[in-house]
Amino acid sequence: MELSKLTPNSWLEIHEKFDNKRGIDYLFAKLDFMYPRKWSSQFANDRSANDFKIAWAEEFQEENFSFKDAKKALEFFKSNIKPGEDNWPPSCLEFISAAKSIDYEAAFLEAVEQMRLREKGLDKWSHCAVYCAAVKLGCDINNFPYQSIKTRWKVAIDDSRARIEAGELPSVVPERLQALPSPEKAHTTPKAEGLKILAEMKRVLDSKVVK
């Protein structure tokens, strides 16, 4: 029995934002537009096309592949289509993998900016792995240009993603903890008043000393 018949699958449901079409129908129409003739040539007939749609939808469900992921994958393949060349459409697994690809340089620039904003509690991260990698490299992301540490940055990103998927790191960026004030700032009693209090304490103690 098909998995889609056992559990609800948002890809096989009709959505108003997809012009009242199923999500998978809308996606296949987009791919057909991007790869004219080549996309539709994979299907012998309408029944074959629908079988492909169900298979893709089931794979998406198993991989927790969202509409947002699909949009990212579409943008990835659209940017890699070269006019005049023999561009072939992706397989389902290639399509899923494309959404997981990372623009490492863009992520690095994000880290530099967001770590600066984090000092004010205004940071917003695209993925927790970017934050974790930024923490791992520390001040180096500000002290070195991307080209100088791009290999270390890629390793840090990939390691963070793997550890997040394994449950070893949190999948959500933790809230920024407020730094404790320095001892000087934490002391709310003015110096002159403090000296006055100490002098009074000394006077009281001296008066109690038995001579």
What's the whole-number mean pLDDT along residues 3-21?
82
Does residue 49 sit in the same domain as residue 93?
Answer: yes
Angle of CA points 154, 160, 164, to nearest 5°: 150
What's the whole-number mean pLDDT along residues 1-26?
81
Could you give the CA distance from residue 93 to residue 2 in angstroms, rounded to a whole number? 19
69: in domain: yes
Indicate the pLDDT class of residue 12, thresholds 50, 70 and 90: very high
Does residue 85 sit in the same domain as residue 127?
Answer: no
pTM exceeds cut of 0.85: no
Does residue 51 sit in the same domain as residue 93?
Answer: yes
Q: What b/e string do you get for 67-105 counting C-beta neighbours within 10 Å, with b at 16 or more?
A: bebbeebbebbeeeeeeeeeeebbebeebbebbeeeebe
Cα distances (Å, whole numbers) of residue 18 to 34, 73, 90: 17, 17, 21
What mean pLDDT is reported for the chain? 85
User: pLDDT value at position 150?
Assistant: 93
Does residue 35 sit in the same domain as residue 116?
Answer: no
200: in domain: no
Could you give the CA distance from residue 78 to residue 45 in angstroms, rounded to a whole number? 26
Does residue 9 sit in the same domain as residue 82?
Answer: yes
178: in domain: no
> Which domain covers residue 87, as residue numbers?
3-99
Could you give the CA distance from residue 129 to residue 151 in angstroms, rounded to a whole number? 16
Contacts of 131 (CB under 8 A, 6+ apart): 111, 114, 125, 173
User: pLDDT value at position 29?
Assistant: 97
Cα distances (Å, whole numbers) of residue 134 to 14, 107, 177, 198, 207: 40, 9, 17, 48, 61
The tally of domains found in the chain comes to 2
